[in-house]
Amino acid sequence: MYYEIVMILGHYANTYVVHNFAKKYNIEFSLYFLLFGAYLPDLIDKPLNILFQLPGRGIAHSVIIQLLLFLPLLYSFPKYRKIFFSIWFGCIFHLVQDTIALSIAFWPIVGSLSDYRRFSFSESFYTYYILVKYPYTLFAEVMSFVVSGGILLSKWLPEGRELAEEKVVVKISDD
């Protein structure tokens, strides 16, 4: 039986790493909106699947639908362009992480959504996180979360070390 992979930690961690990488090249994204975009396709498609039996990777996983949604927003609200672009890039990066089929990515131009397995969140979550049927994927996701945590800590640790050294210097000079 085929189980769809649930990537809760990986979408967060990989998007966070991409955000930090983009900053090195002076590409500015709003981190919170980028992370929101990294989950948005699932936040739309999974409830649609549960409520209306649409595929778990459906309408919001289509680049065509995303273009139709985000291009008007980007041009109609220039003041919020950075926010909308951050959300959209998060959505696009979500599709890359999901490694979706081209027929889904370019629906409705290519392919049909009716050809794909229906999503079962509880079944997938149980299989992925409880039974650990796909340990290599779970390992990769946990490692990506650890890496992003390391990046976050590395931003805070140098400041903490400097403060600790200042206290030591003050204590030595007081003696």
Task: Copy the structure tokens of residue 32.
Answer: 């919170």
SS (H, E, C) 50-105: HHHCCCCCCHHHCHHHHHHHHHHHHHHCHHHHHHHHHHHHHHHHHHHHHCCCHHHH
Residue 43 makes CB contacts below 8 A (sequence gap 6+) with 60
Give the span between the Cα atoms of 26 and 75, in whole angstroms. Answer: 22
Q: Write out pLDDT tens, residues 134-174.
A: 666 667 667 766 766 676 666 666 554 554 445 544 455 55
Give the span between the Cα atoms of 16 and 5, in whole angstroms. Answer: 20
Residue 66: what pLDDT? 95
Q: Where are the domains of the chain?
A: 8-174
| CB-CB contact of 16 with 70 (8 Å) | no
What does DSSP assign to residue 26?
A: T
Q: Write out pLDDT tens, residues 17-30.
A: 788 889 888 988 88
Instruction: Give the pLDDT band (50/70/90) at residue 104.
Output: confident
What does DSSP assign to residue 115?
A: G
